[in-house]
Amino acid sequence: MSLRMPGQYSAPGARDEGLSYLDHEIAGEKAAALGRAGERVERTLAALRAHQGDEAERTRLLRAASEAVYAYFIQRELCGMRRHQGVIREYQIPIQVLARLGAK
């Protein structure tokens, strides 16, 4: 099955350019989702670092941070970025969070 954009959206003289418009929109949505996932990682890690309370609350914050990091890594992979060492360093993701990735 192929996709072709309506005539009013295609560039003059261009053949089968419809997918490039769609690809552009998809790339924009992927980038926006990656940005939102990164912000969630920042928020959850900040809450974890600021925590001074009991162990049960720390466990909940660790779980939230690991879920956020896991979702961020998946979104990065969907965008074609397979290596995560740089962002682990940049966000200073604790080993306790990394050890819980993918766990329920």
Instruction: Say whether pLDDT at 103 is over 80.
Output: no
Specify the number of domains making up the chain. Answer: 1
Q: Is residue 91 part of a domain?
A: yes
In the predicted structure, residue 8 carries a pLDDT above the cut 90: no
Instruction: Classify residue 90: in a domain, yes or no.
Output: yes
Computed from CA positions of residues 75, 81, 85, 91, in that sequence, does the dihedral angle turn out positive or negative? Answer: negative
Q: In this structure, is residue 41 part of a structural domain?
A: yes
Residue 57 lies in a domain: yes
Q: What is the mean predicted confidence (pLDDT) over 26-38?
A: 92
Q: Give percent of the chain above pLDDT 70.
A: 81
Q: How far apart are CA 104 and CA 84, in angstroms?
A: 21
Confidence (pLDDT) at 6 = 60
Assess if residue 83 is contained within a domain.
yes
C-alpha pair distances (Å), 38 with each of 15, 32, 88: 37, 10, 12
Has residue 5 been placed in a domain?
no
pTM: 0.78
Span 5-23, average pLDDT: 63
Instruction: Give the list of residues 6+ apart from residue 93 with CB closer than 8 angstroms, or none.
Output: 41, 45, 65, 69, 87
Q: Provide the residue range defining the domain that includes 31.
A: 18-98
Residues 37 and 68: their CA atoms lie apart, in Å, by 7
Within a domain: residue 52? Answer: yes
The verdict on residue 93 lying in a domain is: yes
